[in-house]
Structure 1
Amino acid sequence: MPFALLHRDGADHVEVLTGDVVTVPTLADIPLHPGTPVLAVIPYRQIGERGFDCVDDGAPLECLLVRSAGREPLDAFPPGPLTLRDGGFDLSDDEYGRIVEEVLRDEIGHGEGANFVIHRVYEATVEGDPLAAARAAFGRLLTGEQGTYWTFLVDTGERILVGATPERHVSVTDGVTMMNPISGTYRNDGGYPGLLDFLRDPKEIEELYMVLDEELKMMATVAEHGGQVAGPYLKEMARLTHTEYLLAGHGSLDVRDVLRETMFAPTVTGSPIENACRVIARHERRGRRYYAGVLALLDHDEQGRQTLDAPILIRTAEISPDGSLRVPVGATLVRHSTAAGEVAETHTKAAGLLSALGAVPSQPLPVRGTAQTAEVRELLAARNDELARFWLDSRAPGALTVPSLAGRHAVIVDAEDTFTAMLAHQLKALGLRVTLLPWTSVTTLPEGDLLVFGPGPGDPSNLADPKMAALHRLAGEALEARRPLFAVCLGQQILASLLGLSLARRDSPYQGLAREVDLFGTVRRVGFYSSFSAVSDEPVAASPYGPVELAVDPSDRTVHALRGPGFAGVQFHPESVLSRDGVDVLRELLPPLLSDVVSPALPG
């Protein structure tokens, strides 16, 4: 009979679930009825439900309908012997390194996104009974690993998954949705001085900020007021240490919709998610099966409310009935990455599970005390010093309302970057009503007091791209009609082009980078995610739509912001957690755009 063994973080027992397995085509088809918990094994290919690209390998979405649930003590699952043969990565270090270099050069370097996760697979054959081997590995993971979110073994009858995942993807309890972005990987054998160096490493710090931003985008779609940030914390495991944040927000969506809207974690895909999926499909050129998917336990609480607990399927082995074994691992590529460093990271991430599987030599790990010293806590806390308090602090409703914006209607055109969902929450906090529209649905200028052209990936000068052509046309129509217009990142690049400014590719990408810049006489700390920018030699430019005031960087002529009669734009992301002063920038730039507008929603 199909079954699952689950050990959740902090528990003194293993949950034993048995039942029947059904296969369903979509997340909405997962059967969810009070009294029957469901454990869903969700493959990466389900990302297609969101319309995102993937190599469809046919891996099924299997659901264990739990008929019986019990508990067993941890010592009921002792570590056992197992042997693998013919093991090795499907891509050599050199082959994987070449892919890393291609992504850094052709994708991040060309503005396609801030970070991307590329995986490779350790493949081997299990000697003997595959289920016995999986049980032995489960016991070894229980005793040899620490700090995991779930340690698990799932046997659907068609496949066995066994692993120790460190990361909650999403959970829903008591109406509160939580996510848990984790990033940065440190090998514990480097000792305490090495840990301090890791915590100070700009690459590791920026990598965590970027996945924090990306999961805040997701929280903005599934929680009523977006996500509030707690942390960062140290995630200490047996062989590795990571850094993490915790996000929480109240929501009322069906938990299956929560799963759908959060497919899949940026820590295993990249940013922005939609284009990350295109990049993954272009460069991996094969399916991911269950890697980067989720294992989701759906249920109801005593009050009949839906609950969800869903870890990411990483540090996981898939074993087929014939004994074939796969252990996928990936590395997050950012602008600071090197091929050698990311190759090493895949080996590091694989080491713990491969040791439990007997694929690499296993040595008893020394009992470690926590590294949570005052110095470590100080380094972690300092990471928040320059972040946006909008996402870190709670506040009373209406606390940020700008009277001149209250009740006005903003329409945001989404250019394939859900930073727009975060921007929507900021605009609502300022008092605006907000409608969010994908660019594909906007064929004529929408009604509204303020049009907002949002960020997105790609080359703004490539008018052969249907998205760029559509955005240029819509922004041009808005200027001609003298409609109040605000533009962010890609939106500003298109606006600047229509105003007659030149565009240039940056010498190095500004992806996940926070800077203090002079904006019209005030120094602001803001976060950038871009590879292109308008450029100018002068602080004022003439345009067909009136004079344009420019905030120009004297070091490289890039235009950080612009404003003119009825329009304004910013090259950075005011909505990003990196933009300490983002809300203040919006409070300064938006009211003048609407000063001469009479809203149909307002008297006068």
Structure 2
Amino acid sequence: MNAPAASLLLELAASGAPFALISRDAETIEVLTGDVHDVDLLADIPLHDCTGAPREVLALVPFRQVRERGFACHDDGAPLRCLVVADHIALPRAEVLAGLPATPIALRDAGFDIDDESYADIVRRVIADEIGRGEGANFVIRRDFTAEVDADPAVAALTWFRALLEHERGAYWTFAIVTDGHVAVGASPEAHVSAREGVVTMNPISGTFRHPAGGATAETLTEFLASTKETEELFMVVDEELKMMSAVCSDGGRITGPHLKEMSRLTHTEYVLRGRSRLDPRDILRETMFAPTVTGSPMQNACTVITRHERAPRGYYSGVAALFTPRADAGAPKNTDAGTASATDAAPTHDLDAPILIRTAYLADGHLRVPVGATLVRHSDPYGEVGETHGKAAGVLGAIGAIPRDRVAEEAALAARADAVDEDEPAAEPRRLADDPEIAALLASRNSRLAAFWLNPQASAPDGPLRGREAVVVDAEDRFTTMLAHQLRHLGLDVRIVPWHRVTADDVRDAELVVCGPGPGDPRDPASDRMRRMREIVTERRASGRPLLAVCLSHQILSDDVGLDLAPLATPHQGLQKTVDVFGMPASIGFYNTFTARVAPGTREVGDAEVAADASGDVYALRGPGFASVQGHLESILSRDGMVTLERLVTHALTTAP
């Protein structure tokens, strides 16, 4: 290593000054130094100096920031920590590796804070008490690997950073962030959100294949890719992140993929979502807190469920490390006070790159913590989810010496590299499993189940009878409403979203079309203020004769108002795709429901409502004078016939009102 680079690392370790090392490509290590400022809100992240000039900031965003969106959490007071960058240099990766310490750091009293059997019990309770009661489609519950460490924190950070660079592959960011009293070292596989030159990108990753001893092969991966549970898990998180994209992007977002994320001990499946936005990157970050892959869906209720079932605060786990970089074409914003930039100001002054804080080791006051979680869905096997937490922790724990590394797989990878190149050429990466034709075909086949609306460029709103009509969409605490609103706009409507507790009497009475949206929970719950208010809105609007569309939870409430029975399903339909008859037309629709309206088999009418139901009597849709409803989520990526069905139901509501 050259002397200046070597001396820089030694100075960083000895100085006590804050610094960050980041690897985002195979060639360089970025070194960031500067001053630390802790702030209260994302809007307070100091992107500009006192003159209004933009500056670079690396922010550690803790999970507790979900309070900014009004969501529940165990509040541990973890600071929103900002490293205001004074110097940012790039060093050759090989030279940095050669200069980093390699002596293993000793650990004491190492182990999980929640034993395997207790974690399996938590999984069972979440499936039965949360998913089984309609509180959501999936939830991520964590546990922590903990140990005591006597080493100097900065030396430990540099040592673990080197180990992750050497032994973990496929990471989006490998990093070490050292500030006073706190160290974070990780190899995050997942970019939560980025914003570059007006293009917002999200990267939902879900489905976890734990490599067998000796490494993954095409044969062992094939069974994983054919798993219904793993496939639906990925579709559900894509739906959840599209909700966020629809909130921050004018074009709602498109999905590409699926792809494989291949790492040392795990392989994940992933999609990439892209859309355009002029929002301040701090606003984008706020509206996307946090990834459903580490929380669950719907997001607001997932935070409540996490608070019920996790024993302690999350700290920075499932938050983000957010690097705000001044754009070359950016000047000062119109108003340089913190948090004032918005979509109505000039173009954003900063780009954003924000990986999720997972696969990360935290060190504070000699206490090491490596949090890991599993995504719990209706198909989850408790002991399978226990194994998933072990697998997710293994990359970090193997690197830091807490568990043995899979040396057989590492040696095989090294041998593959050696065989792939000539002696005088640099070593090549081993062949990716995604390049196998059978694996590529299995991945591509997944998209045949998905809605073309979210896969293809979205056409402009048609010049038809719906253009210019006005709609109020009532948000019942599920941001599927943002996707629904986006689709309604593509049908030509002017749409405004209003939270359930802010809907006024004027909205209910005067809106040209009211769309009552989906939400979590039991529609029969008499103690819920949200259910009571949604019932009032649906009942009053139907009684007025003015056009009404009701979706999922609101469909169930409308069904009750019509006089139908409500009952829990024997098995929740969370992330389930079904082809059902919707008034004489078969429709492939995605379902996220635990409860259903039910009629006697063969029933086609109840009062003034026409009923679309299956042979068992489960009701999928209603329509009558001025109203229509649907149990499924026409906005979901699982609804291949979502747009045409939505247009049919909206047109019916608007054209049959008295």
Structure 1 CA distance for aligned equivalents of residues 240 and 585 of structure 2: 28
Deviation at 1:249, TM superposition (A): 0.4
SS in 2 for 1:496: helix
Contact 1:388–1:580 (CA<8 Å) still a contact in 2? yes
Deviation at 1:276, TM superposition (A): 0.3
Amino acid across the alignment from 1:214: E
Structure 2 CA distance for aligned equivalents of residues 585 and 280 of structure 1: 35
Write the deviation string for residues 69-111 of structure 1: whole angstroms up to 9, x where unpaired.
Answer: 1111212134612221110111111111111111000000110
SS in 2 for 1:423: helix
Structure 2 CA distance for aligned equivalents of residues 282 and 445 of structure 1: 37
Structure 2 CA distance for aligned equivalents of residues 402 and 559 of structure 1: 33
Which residue does the alignment assign to 2:431? 369
Which residue does the alignment assign to 2:386? 343
Structure 1 CA distance for aligned equivalents of residues 323 and 129 of structure 2: 39
Contact 1:79–1:138 (CA<8 Å) still a contact in 2? no
Task: Percent identity, please.
Answer: 53
Write the deviation string for residues 114-168 of structure 1: whole angstroms up to 9, x where unpaired.
Answer: 0000000001012322221221110011111111000000011120000000000
Which residue, 579, 587, 592 being the options, matches 2:647? Answer: 587
Structure 1 CA distance for aligned equivalents of residues 603 and 23 of structure 2: 61
Amino acid across the alignment from 1:340: Y
TM-score normalised by the chain length of structure 2: 0.88
Which residue does the alignment assign to 2:156? 133
TM-score normalised by the chain length of structure 1: 0.96
Which residue does the alignment assign to 1:602? none
Which residue does the alignment assign to 2:367? 324
Deviation at 1:549, TM superposition (A): 1.0
Counterpart mapping for 1:492-511 below 5 A: 492-511=555-574
Deviation at 1:597, TM superposition (A): 6.5
Which residue does the alignment assign to 2:30? 15
Contact 1:214–1:266 (CA<8 Å) still a contact in 2? yes
Which residue does the alignment assign to 1:409? 470
Matched, 1:420 2:463: no
Contact 2:480–2:635 (CA<8 Å) still a contact in 1? yes
Contact 1:539–1:549 (CA<8 Å) still a contact in 2? no
Structure 2 CA distance for aligned equivalents of residues 563 and 500 of structure 1: 14
Structure 1 CA distance for aligned equivalents of residues 459 and 75 of structure 2: 46
Structure 1 CA distance for aligned equivalents of residues 406 and 329 of structure 2: 47
Contact 1:38–1:63 (CA<8 Å) still a contact in 2? yes
Q: Tell me how large the CA RMSD over aligned residues is.
A: 1.3
Which residue, 261, 264, 268 being the options, matches 2:290? Answer: 264
Which residue does the alignment assign to 2:522? 459
Which residue does the alignment assign to 2:138? 115
Contact 1:402–1:587 (CA<8 Å) still a contact in 2? no
Structure 2 CA distance for aligned equivalents of residues 88 and 386 of structure 1: 42
Structure 2 CA distance for aligned equivalents of residues 516 and 87 of structure 1: 50
Structure 1 CA distance for aligned equivalents of residues 647 and 463 of structure 2: 7
Structure 2 CA distance for aligned equivalents of residues 228 and 128 of structure 1: 47
Structure 1 CA distance for aligned equivalents of residues 363 and 302 of structure 2: 28
Matched, 1:429 2:490: yes
- Alpha carbons of 1:41 and 1:521: their partners in 2 closer, same or farther (altered >3 Å)? same
After TM superposition, the structure 1 stretch with the greater mean CA deviation from structure 2, 533-542 or 471-480, is: 533-542
Contact 1:445–1:478 (CA<8 Å) still a contact in 2? no
SS in 1 for 2:545: coil
Matched, 1:74 2:134: no
- Alpha carbons of 1:12 and 1:35: their partners in 2 closer, same or farther (altered >3 Å)? farther
Matched, 1:482 2:534: no
After TM superposition, the structure 1 stretch with the greater mean CA deviation from structure 2, 442-451 or 221-230, is: 442-451
Amino acid across the alignment from 1:42: V
SS in 2 for 1:384: helix
Amino acid across the alignment from 2:611: L
Contact 1:79–1:140 (CA<8 Å) still a contact in 2? no
Which residue does the alignment assign to 2:596? 533
SS in 2 for 1:290: coil
When you count helix as a share of all residues, which structure comes out higher? 2
Deviation at 1:443, TM superposition (A): 3.8
Contact 1:79–1:143 (CA<8 Å) still a contact in 2? no
Q: Which runs of 5+ in 2 are unaligned?
A: 1-16, 331-348, 414-429
Which residue does the alignment assign to 1:36? 55
Which residue does the alignment assign to 1:24? 39
Contact 1:445–1:474 (CA<8 Å) still a contact in 2? no
- Alpha carbons of 1:311 and 1:593: their partners in 2 closer, same or farther (altered >3 Å)? same
Which residue does the alignment assign to 2:262? 236
Which residue does the alignment assign to 2:339? none
Write the deviation string for residues 436-474 of structure 1: whole angstroms up to 9, x where unpaired.
Answer: 000010142503211100000010011221011111111
Write the deviation string for residues 164-187 of structure 1: whole angstroms up to 9, x where unpaired.
Answer: 000000000010000000001112
Which residue, 542, 558, 563 being the options, matches 2:606? Answer: 542
SS in 2 for 1:586: helix
Contact 2:372–2:393 (CA<8 Å) still a contact in 1? yes
Contact 1:171–1:309 (CA<8 Å) still a contact in 2? yes
Deviation at 1:402, TM superposition (A): 6.0
SS in 1 for 2:448: coil
Structure 2 CA distance for aligned equivalents of residues 542 and 327 of structure 1: 56
Matched, 1:181 2:204: yes
Write the deviation string for residues 15-43 of structure 1: whole angstroms up to 9, x where unpaired.
Answer: 00000000000100000024520000000
Structure 2 CA distance for aligned equivalents of residues 74 and 26 of structure 1: 35
Which residue does the alignment assign to 1:59? 78
Write the deviation string for residues 557-590 of structure 1: whole angstroms up to 9, x where unpaired.
Answer: 1001111111000000000000000001012111
Contact 1:511–1:528 (CA<8 Å) still a contact in 2? yes
Contact 2:36–2:81 (CA<8 Å) still a contact in 1? yes
Counterpart mapping for 1:214-253 below 5 A: 214-253=240-279
Contact 2:218–2:439 (CA<8 Å) still a contact in 1? no
Which residue does the alignment assign to 1:124? 147
SS in 2 for 1:91: coil
Write the deviation string for residues 335-370 of structure 1: whole angstroms up to 9, x where unpaired.
Answer: 000110111100000001001111001243131421
Contact 2:141–2:375 (CA<8 Å) still a contact in 1? yes
Contact 1:83–1:357 (CA<8 Å) still a contact in 2? no
Contact 1:176–1:249 (CA<8 Å) still a contact in 2? yes
Matched, 1:169 2:192: yes
Structure 1 CA distance for aligned equivalents of residues 270 and 459 of structure 2: 27
Write the deviation string for residues 493-545 of structure 1: whole angstroms up to 9, x where unpaired.
Answer: 000000001001000000000011111121110000000010012433333xx
After TM superposition, the structure 1 stretch with the greater mean CA deviation from structure 2, 372-381 or 259-268, is: 372-381
Which residue does the alignment assign to 2:499? 438
Which residue does the alignment assign to 2:421? none
After TM superposition, the structure 1 stretch with the greater mean CA deviation from structure 2, 235-244 or 115-124, is: 235-244
- Alpha carbons of 1:97 and 1:562: their partners in 2 closer, same or farther (altered >3 Å)? same
Number of aligned pairs? 590
Which residue does the alignment assign to 2:338? none
Structure 2 CA distance for aligned equivalents of residues 369 and 98 of structure 1: 40
Write the deviation string for residues 306-345 of structure 1: whole angstroms up to 9, x where unpaired.
Answer: 200000000001111x321000000000000011011110
Contact 2:172–2:189 (CA<8 Å) still a contact in 1? yes
SS in 2 for 1:28: helix
Amino acid across the alignment from 2:652: P
